[in-house]
Chains A and B, each alone.
Chain A
Amino acid sequence: MSNPALVLAHEWIGLDVEVIESPNECEVGIKGQIIDETMKTLKIKTDKGVKTIAKKHRMFKIKFCNRVLKVKGDLIAYRPEDRIKKGIMMIKRAKGKVWI
């Protein structure tokens, strides 16, 4: 949990999220807690009920280890259990180094 870049590999269920960019205008501004995750979608619990939102082509604002981060949805469009391997490799490819 120490490295904020590990958000790509870490658990998203239970975190607070907000959609800030989307090709569908109605989705912009949806805010709440994530209750489920699949390969292509996130399920967000909002005041108006549970909303299902695709990951691709969206931009999310997420609270992770006491910071607010902007994450591109394309980077996390994998199965939740695959994200550990692929997320860490993505960080490694970008920086060439992983801090523990």
Chain B
Amino acid sequence: MMLKREKKLERKVANERIRILIEKAEKMKFEDYELAKRYIKLAKKISMKYRVRIPKELKIKFCKKCLYPYKLDKFRVRVRKSRVIITCLNCGFERRIPIRPKRQ
């Protein structure tokens, strides 16, 4: 009989690895910017292969398009028209995060 894959365990390990990699990239970005990008690339590959979401608080730490982590002097934050706009100064990609007013 063929052995079955342990998908639940795979996803659990994948989640832990993504967290480790992005936290490593956060520390590494001041020393070696290219290596920090490599860590995020690995994290993204793992998340796509095992279909695990990257948590929201980690997602906003790097550019969605060029995968460089946001670093001082390499990104800009503006609030305009009820949304936060984060611009990556490496590639120019704009990420817009809407802010919804609380309903009463």
* Residues in A lying within 8 Å of B, measured CB to CB: 1, 6, 9-11, 13-14, 35-36, 80-82, 84-85, 88-89, 92-93, 98, 100
Task: Tell me if B13 and A84 are in contact (CB < 8 A).
Answer: yes
Task: Tell me if A84 and B5 are in contact (CB < 8 A).
Answer: no
Task: Tell me if A14 and B13 are in contact (CB < 8 A).
Answer: no
Interface hit among B41-49, B55-63, B69-77, B93-101: B41-49
Majority-rule SS of A interface residues: loop
Q: How many angstroms between the C-alpha atoms of A13 and B3 in the bound complex? A: 29
Report how many residues on chain B are interfacial, defined by Cβ distance under 8 Å: 22
Q: How many angstroms between the C-alpha atoms of A81 and B21 in the bound complex? A: 12
Q: Which residues in B have their C-beta under 8 angstroms from that of A81?
A: 42, 45-46, 49
User: Given contacts A36-B38, A81-B45, is CB(A88)–CB(B3) below 8 Å?
Assistant: no
Q: How many angstroms between the C-alpha atoms of A80 and B20 in the bound complex? A: 14
